[in-house]
Amino acid sequence: MLAKADGLEKLLAGDGGDELFGGNARYAKQRLFGAYEVIPKAIRERAIEPLLFGTSALARLPVMNKAASYVRQARIRMPERMNAYNLLKKLGDAEVLTGEFLSSVDAGRPAAAEHRTYESCHARSLVNRMLAYDWKYTLADNDLLKVTSASALAGIAVGFPLLADEIVDFSLRLRPELKLKGLRLRYFFKEALRDFLPVEIINKRKHGFGLPFGVWVMRHDRLRDLAFASLRALARRDMVRREFLDDLMARKLSEHPAYYGELVWVLMMLEQWLQRRIPETSLASAQATA
């Protein structure tokens, strides 16, 4: 809005750089987990895992507990492993969603679609398969949609220079180890600009854009009233368990606002979206008019 007010007609966005040149921290993290797959299967199943998951006193040592946690995550297949920290999955579908809603949907369909997308990339390297996955879910389905929609609302055009055909084609020809060198993110991209950008920019750590929504909700009455009113309205739709929403508002959010704030935001936005498109307040009435 400020750019529009200043008379600008078009903005340039930097979306795509991370997904072309290996800039997201999860790429390095998954490479660490992927290292476990390099160990021969016989050694993993007959030596390492019995030692870590056995009942001996050695398995209860703190260092062994950490190793066991690493192996548990490493054994999750890709791309599900990238979503292992999804709060809904951690809590469990049945803890959050009503039985009526779960019986009306295929709860495994999103994961199956993600797996098909991941497997449709035939690259040998882990990093390139993750990049291809993110082109679909991070770029096409999320980031680009948010940026273009927000720009359209402000009445201003937006361009994505890093997604020019020439740069995309170049990234496809770039060797995987130049995208993620060891655990170093955006290796080629940074090295190519080392003599152009200040060293502070080249060496700075990546920062996310997450907002402390849960903290804001607990501090600002009007925002909390809007969020909680949305959650109470959502409870009447028979999609999310009323008991879970009551506990989320009464206890969970106040105890861990940073942790549960994102879930409150997602559920709040779901209800706001539904109010505009499906004003019926129950699953049964919504299905009857579908």
Q: How far apart are CA 4 and CA 157, in angstroms?
A: 10
Residue 283's pLDDT is 53
39: left (phi over 0), alpha (psi -120 to 50) or beta: beta
Query: In angstroms, rounded to a whole number, what is the distance separating the alpha carbons of residues 124 and 34?
Result: 13
pLDDT value at residue 285:
56
Which pLDDT value is given to residue 12? 95
Q: Could you tell me the mean pLDDT of each successive run of 10 residues in the chain, 290 residues long?
A: 86 94 94 94 94 82 90 94 88 95 94 94 94 96 94 94 96 96 93 91 80 94 96 95 97 95 96 89 54
pLDDT at 100: 95
Distance of CA 243 to the CA centre of its chain: 26
d(CA 234, CA 240): 7
Structure tokens at 261: 């704030």
Token representation of residue 168: 């995309």
CA proximity to 31, closest of 116, 118, 119, 125 = 125
| pLDDT for residue 204 | 84
Residue 109: predicted pLDDT:
94
Report pLDDT for 86: 86
Residue type, 193: L
